[in-house]
Amino acid sequence: MLRYRSRVQFRSAAAVSALFAAAAVGVAGPLPATRPAAGLKPAATTAPTPAVAAGRPATKPAGELTRRTVEELARRGADAIALGDIKAARDCFVDAVQLDPRHRRSLESLGYCYLKLNDVARATKSMEAAQAVPATAPAAAPVIATSSGRSLAVNLAYVLLRNRNAMRGAKYIKDYLASQSAAPPDEDVLDALAVCLAQAPDEAKVNRLYDECVKFYEQANARLEATRPNEKRWGVDWIPKSEWVEKDKENKRVRTELDDKAKQMSAARAILADKQSLYAAVTSNKPTRPRTPVAQVEAQLRTAKQKVDALQDEMTELTSKIARPAFPKLFEPMPMEELPAVASAAPGTPTPEAPVAAVPPVAVAVVPPSLVRPADAFTPPPSPADVAPPVPAAVEPPTPRRRAVFTTACGFAVAPDLVVTSAASVEGASKVSAQPADSEPLDAEVVRADGALALIRLKGKRMRYVGLGDAAFPGGAVQCVSYPTPALFDPSSEAIAGTATPAKDAWSVALAKHPRLAGAPILFGGRVVGVSVGGREDPSSRLPAATLADLRKLIGTDAPATLAQGNDPKAAVCLVSSLREK
């Protein structure tokens, strides 16, 4: 069981849940209200603090908290994909997979993000990992439903085709189509199978898998063609059936001629082999009966070879006359499937809303008051002329859920109300909040940005802060305080050991664990000497970092000259969340 360490943290989880829920449905307004720090005047409250649900337990199983977190990360990632922010989506799914490495939907979505970012190697790895997870496998976050496998099969085949592994891609598509009982087959998926088979190398065409895939394709294609009686498929295109019949008739005529030439070629090659054996015998001074002059054998050999060459030319010419459809060398990746959401198992947990199907207008017969009679009275049924015509019931279309892009970064206070964080995480944000270890999320605003760093100002509350180094960092052992484990509802920072060379341009640090979030402070002797600005894809052994000079340039004269004694650097670190509404 995972016990919340304090009532403050439990309330923090509820506040964050309310923030996510408000953003998911497009509710405008400030972030949840905050509690004042000790000794400070309470800030003006613009929104009530969400109440804890009655009867909600004070403890939560670790698996339940993980499930909720993965669920929210997957929903955020899906929204980011829909809004075109692929990098933000990638970060969400990287975090989701870190918590649940067998979450099929997140693995597939992460592979799709890598595909869109043209990282074919990582896309292949993630999608094959998703394919290896059974669709019915239990996951920590079952709320985000598993797709039918359509987009996964096609996109995995796409990256494999780019890796010159067409037959492996064909197998995945064939297996997907075979699992679908619906007839006719999916045309787009069938086209992808055709492209993979057309791009298969010659050495693969002698294997049994190729023959199986071709046979499967022909059968599926026949079922698809049955849906359009007046048309036939020519490659991946539809043409009139009459045109297809003419092409097929001409192809059959050419193939008949090719079969005749093939028989002639077989006989001609047998004669050539005979003459080659005879020539070898007479030129080796072995006695032959009857004895044949060498010149005569050479002439016969030459005639036999000319016959074979002539037949080969004729067959090549006939083969070129066979009309063949032109297949593209590559097909387009398939967008991720839009999935309905399943209700959350935890009260107060934000969940993606399921799309509501439009309800057609319902005709309702309105009976005039004069036709209403007591239950015990008998009257003849009204004539059609006395009954008012049906009045369509007004049905308002459902309001679509507004999507938003969330980004998360680390931040650290350099003054009571000033926090340094990653510039990329707050760029273009409509709402910014910072959550310290001992507080609910605090509203913030961007003061300025410079390079990879940004300075934000807290609204209505102050934080304990950490001081900056007095001199240039000489190199050696350092610490980085960040949030290496994804945790949206109960974030906990961690000090990570590392080393670094003296700061210079294009500076980097080596850490024992990846800090996961950009904007984490790098500490030497308890003071900040740099800021980690690397992303999730940067190796922990070589993380890009901003120097102390970059940090001082950003802060200017806003930071205090001295550091309050006894401040714990972990108390100065916070989780910075940004929201971009589109």
Span 490-504, average pLDDT: 91
pLDDT score recorded for residue 352: 37
Alpha-carbon torsion angle 295, 300, 301, 304, nearest 10: 160
pLDDT score recorded for residue 238: 95
Residue 289 has pLDDT above 50, yes or no: yes
As assigned by CATH, the class of the 2-224 domain is mainly alpha
Amino acid at site 233: R
Any residues with CB less than 8 A from the CB of 387 and at least 6 apart, and which?
365, 367, 371
Indicate the SS3 state at residue 371: helix
Place of tokens 């670094």: 500
Give me the residue spans of the domains in the chain.
2-224, 240-320, 405-581
Yes or no: say if 304 and 275 are a contact pair by the CB < 8 Å rule. Answer: yes
* Residue 431 token pair: 């709402």
pLDDT score recorded for residue 199: 95
Span 504-521, average pLDDT: 94
Q: What is the pTM of this model?
A: 0.72
Measured CA distances, 227 to 150, 173, 224 (Å) = 21, 21, 6
* Residue 497 phi, psi (nearest 5): -75, 155
pLDDT tens by residue, 424-435: 999 999 999 999
pLDDT score recorded for residue 264: 95
Instruction: Convert 131-161 into a string of H (helix), E (strand) and C (coil).
Output: HHCCCCCCCCCCCECCCCCHHHHHHHHHHHH
Yes or no: say if 421 and 410 are a contact pair by the CB < 8 Å rule. Answer: yes
pLDDT score recorded for residue 562: 63
Pairing of strands 476-482, 494-500: antiparallel
Measured CA distances, 348 to 50, 51, 99 (Å) = 10, 10, 21
pLDDT tens by residue, 9-21: 334 444 444 444 4
Any residues with CB less than 8 A from the CB of 518 and at least 6 apart, and which?
409, 410, 421, 422, 424, 425, 452, 532, 533, 534, 535
Pick the closest to residue 226 from 289, 174, 274, 183 (CA basis).
183
Band of the pLDDT at 558, cuts 50, 70, 90?
Answer: confident
Alpha-carbon torsion angle 184, 187, 193, 196, nearest 10: 160
Measured CA distances, 304 to 265, 269, 275, 300, 310 (Å) = 11, 8, 7, 6, 10
Measured CA distances, 550 to 375, 401, 453 (Å) = 87, 41, 8
pLDDT score recorded for residue 162: 95
Span 162-168, average pLDDT: 95
Between 3.30.70.20, 2.40.10.120, 1.10.10.10, 1.10.1740.110, what CATH number should domain 405-581 receive?
2.40.10.120
Instruction: Report how far residue 476's alpha carbon sits from residue 22's, in angstroms, rounded to the nearest whole number.
Output: 45
> Looking at the DSSP assignment, which residues form a beta bridge with residue 415?
418
Name the H helices within 163-207.
166-179, 187-198
Band of the pLDDT at 28, cuts 50, 70, 90?
Answer: very low
Least trusted range by pLDDT, from 29-43, 289-303, 449-463: 29-43
Task: Give pairs for 341-344: CB < 8 Å, separation 24+.
Answer: 341/75, 341/143, 341/144, 341/145, 342/142, 342/143, 342/144, 342/145, 343/143, 344/68, 344/71, 344/143
pLDDT score recorded for residue 377: 42
Instruction: Report how far residue 351's alpha carbon sits from residue 70's, in angstroms, rounded to the nearest whole number.
Output: 11
pLDDT score recorded for residue 439: 79
pLDDT tens by residue, 78-113: 999 999 999 999 999 999 999 999 999 999 999 999
Residue 501 has pLDDT above 80, yes or no: yes
Across the chain, mean pLDDT equals: 80
Higher pLDDT: 488 or 228? It is 228
Pick the closest to residue 551 from 519, 515, 575 (CA basis).
519
Span 534-545, average pLDDT: 93
Band of the pLDDT at 323, cuts 50, 70, 90?
Answer: very high
pLDDT tens by residue, 336-389: 876 554 433 333 333 333 333 333 444 444 444 443 444 444 445 555 555 556
82-119 burial: b if 16+ Cβ within 10 Å, else e: ebebbbbbbbbbbbbbbbbebbbbbbbbbbbbbbbeeb
Least trusted range by pLDDT, from 123-137, 150-164, 553-567: 553-567
Instruction: Report how far residue 410's alpha carbon sits from residue 573's, in angstroms, rounded to the nearest whole number.
Output: 7
At 66, which helix (H) or strand (E)? helix 62-82
- The percentage of the chain sitting over the pLDDT mark of 70, rounded to a whole number, equals 74
pLDDT score recorded for residue 390: 61
Higher pLDDT: 39 or 128? It is 128
Yes or no: say if 502 and 517 are a contact pair by the CB < 8 Å rule. Answer: no
Span 468-476, average pLDDT: 86
Residue 44 has pLDDT above 50, yes or no: no
Look at the alpha carbons of 122, 579, 350, 25 in this order and tell me if their dihedral is positive or negative.
Answer: negative
Measured CA distances, 110 to 52, 375, 391, 543 (Å) = 34, 65, 50, 22
Instruction: Report how far residue 199's alpha carbon sits from residue 164's, in angstroms, rounded to the nearest whole number.
Output: 9
Yes or no: say if 509 and 476 are a contact pair by the CB < 8 Å rule. Answer: no
pLDDT tens by residue, 405-423: 999 999 999 999 999 999 9
pLDDT tens by residue, 250-274: 999 999 999 999 999 999 999 999 9
Residue 281 has pLDDT above 50, yes or no: yes
pLDDT score recorded for residue 293: 82
